[in-house]
Amino acid sequence: MAGAEIVGWAHSKFGKSEAASTRELMAEVINPALEHAGITAKDVDGIFVGVFNNGFSKQDFQGALVAMAAEGFDHVPAVRMENACATGSAALYSALDFIASGRGKIALVVGAEKMTALPTKETGDILLSASYREEEADVEGGFAGLFGRIASHYFQRYGDRSEELAMIAAKNHSNGMKNPYAHMQKDFGFDFCNTVSDKNPYVAAPLRRTDCSLVSDGAAALVIAAPEVAEGMRRAVAFKARNHVNDILAMSRRDPIAFEGARLAWQKSLGEAGVSLDDLSFVETHDCFTIAELIEYEAMGLARPGEGYRVIREGITRKDGRLPVNPSGGLKSKGHPIGATGVSMHVMAAMQLCGEAGEMQVPDAKLAGVFNMGGAAVANYVSILERTK
């Protein structure tokens, strides 16, 4: 699939940031991304911003904040995208479409979110805006409660897989130890993750605290260029395929543990790229909760429905396994600042493919899969990436 390529990036430390706003978070990554690509603000033809917000801040009109965060963008067209937890990928795909349409040669993509300034209860209610409130507003515990329901449905159908969820959590926390940008750089180990305790209580049974991604602040940025421009850049990562597939918002109107939209997005992207899972060097997938990663094993085709547990038990997705999943530590360890997540996942993949991932590096990484989803597998984005320069 010919199209725009990633030619530069930057990533902030995820966690509880002293930055007071998304504007300040954006300022941490914009100029470093331009410098990494070897360009300046005057080279940018369009700006695409991913910020969920929805009440995290009274300041909206977030697309316009880039010109407030860095100099030189006063008259560059900017737009803000929102697609729940896939907000960052929505901004990225819009930038790719912008370049593919011929309207510009270089685009800047910025994803950011400031989540930690509000009390936990308010944060949970804001995140429930990514559910179907007419039917799901009464869920206790926000999105953790929603995925607690998904886990309960899954366990009822296929058996209790709490141990396998703990294995996924332990894997991702171990990987996150090598990620300098990660919110939680601590290796908890399987026993801690698998044991309900004062330090690891149920958040939304059967999900424990270690089954849930972190409420984080952070930002990430990508510079995207047309192929003919990318030829003259220091590095370039191309999209062999990219697909966005939606599913019905209300969980009552679909099988909530099938992740059918995710399955179709993977199927389309692998087909268009002309590759199989065996060809991928690694995958960055959306582990907002460990049950999500387990079901995503099945959606991507690593296992049949109900048998995702075999994937983690057999070590297939470990860093040294046949298909490493979330070598960055994933959302579980890296953190999940909503608007930044999709951009961050593509930054992590590009770093691996260009051999710039440091201690996270997967040896001889040549082909990457990225899966980012909005809501409970409602907006599903799958990218297949390869280095071209």
- The reported pLDDT for the residue numbered 138 is 87
Residue of 140 and 22 predicted with greater confidence: 22
For range 63-75, the mean pLDDT: 98
What is the mean predicted confidence (pLDDT) over 4-9? Answer: 98
Tens digit of pLDDT for each residue in 329-349?
A: 999 999 999 999 999 999 999
Q: What is the pLDDT of residue 231?
A: 96
Confidence at residue 1, expressed as pLDDT on a 0 to 100 scale: 42
Give residue-wise pLDDT tens across range 146-179. Answer: 999 999 999 999 999 999 999 999 999 999 999 9
* CATH code of domain 5-117+216-230: 3.40.47.10
pLDDT 10s digits, 98-135:
999 999 999 999 999 999 999 999 999 999 999 999 99
CB 323 within 8 A of CB 317: yes
**Catalytic positions, please?**
85, 336
pLDDT higher than threshold 90 for residue 139:
no
Query: What is the predicted pLDDT for the residue at 142?
Result: 85
Return the pLDDT at 141: 82
Query: Residue 88: what pLDDT?
Result: 98
**What are the tens digits of pLDDT across the range 378-389?**
999 999 999 999
Mean of pLDDT over the chain: 97
